[in-house]
Amino acid sequence: MSMGAAGDEFTEINVTPLTDVFLVLLVIMILIAPLIDKSDLKIKPPETKNAKKVDETKGVSIDIDKEGQIAINGTFVDAKDPAVIQQKIAAIVAKMGDKEVPCTLNADGDTKERAVVEVMTAAAAAGIKKMRVATVQQSNF
C-alpha cells in the first residue's frame, strides 16, 4: 500500500470515530426518551412578594390548585372539558363588555404545566388578550 510521495496532501477524512460518536448519542437518546414525559412537568412560576392586588370585578380571576381543579371568579368548573372553561370565560367577558378584559391566572406551585396551558388556551379562545400568571404567595417568616 502506497502512502504517496512526500509533499502530497492528505485529503481523506476518517469518518469511523464520528460515526461511533453519533451511534453512542443515538443510543443515549433512545434510552432517555421514554423517561421524559412532558405532560408531567411541574410548572414553577415566579413568586411575588410585593404585587398589588387586582380588583376581581374588573377582570377574570382563574385559580388552579395542585390537583388541577379550576375555579373561575371563585366558581369551580369542570376541568376535564376545555370547552366549558372557554364558555365560562367568554360569558364573563361578554358581561363586562370591555374588549380588553385582564385575566389573572393563579396557579399552585405544584400545578402541572398541562393544566395551566389548557386554561391559557381556553382563555385566548374566549377573547382574553391580557393575562398574567402568578403563584400562590408563600410567607417566608
State pLDDT tens for residues 29-79. 998 887 776 655 565 666 666 656 555 557 788 888 888 888 888 888 877
Is CATH 3.30.365.10 the classification given to domain 40-135? no
Query: For residues 21 and 93, which has the higher predicted lDDT (pLDDT)?
Result: 21
What are the domain boundaries of the chain?
A: 40-135
State pLDDT tens for residues 66-78. 888 888 888 888 7
Q: Quick count: other Cβ atoms within 10 Å of Cβ 4?
A: 8
The single-letter code of the amino acid at 111 is T
> β-pairing, 75-77 with 70-72?
antiparallel
d(CA 25, CA 44): 30
Q: Which pLDDT does position 25 carry in this prediction?
A: 95
Percent of the chain with pLDDT strictly greater than 70: 74
CB 47 within 8 Å of CB 135? yes
Q: Which pLDDT does position 60 carry in this prediction?
A: 83
